[in-house]
Amino acid sequence: MGSVQHRFQAFLEQPGWLGDLLASLEAKTGVQRYYLATGSITALGLYLMFGYAASLLCNLIGFVYPAYASIKAIESSTKEDDTTWLTYWVVYGLFSVAEFFSDTFLYWFSFYYVGKSLFLVWCMAPVSWNGSQVLYRHLIRPWFLRHHQTVDSVLSELGGRAAAASREASKEAVKRTLQTMD
């Protein structure tokens, strides 16, 4: 356990916005940054279990930073960060669809939003074994490779039908407009 605690402490000491914020709070309050961080994480966890807007907070956790990082990726010249965040959004989208069907039952569990938040943080974590990469490589990609030709043909057929229906609706609208003008 000491190893995890030391790694967490080292993470909190790293320079950057989080380290700078914790250093500033540590200087103002006299409370060590380790206790500030663990207290904040505990408060966040308790709020996600018992707070009024836990669903909103959980969705903000899964959206705000990834959206910001995605915009930065779009503006950068490298492809690697684009792929990272596109993979996140594919997993996030599939999770959201699956959650639509299970949310009615799962949100009754007090740890649901904590678990969902941890899952979303795992999916966006800046490590090679983050949730998005693992789920994409082991579940989504194999399914896609097996079924993409079938999906492509169904979408093509649906596109053709939609175009034909649109043409017919346009012709009918023009016909009715001309009839009302007479």
The DSSP output letter for 126 is S
Residue 72: count of CB within 10 angstroms of its CB? 11
Structure confidence at residue 156 (pLDDT): 87
Distance CA 164, CA 7 (A): 61
Structure confidence at residue 72 (pLDDT): 93
Total-model pTM? 0.72
Q: Is the pLDDT of residue 64 over 80?
A: yes
Structure confidence at residue 2 (pLDDT): 65
Contacts of 121 (CB under 8 A, 6+ apart): 61
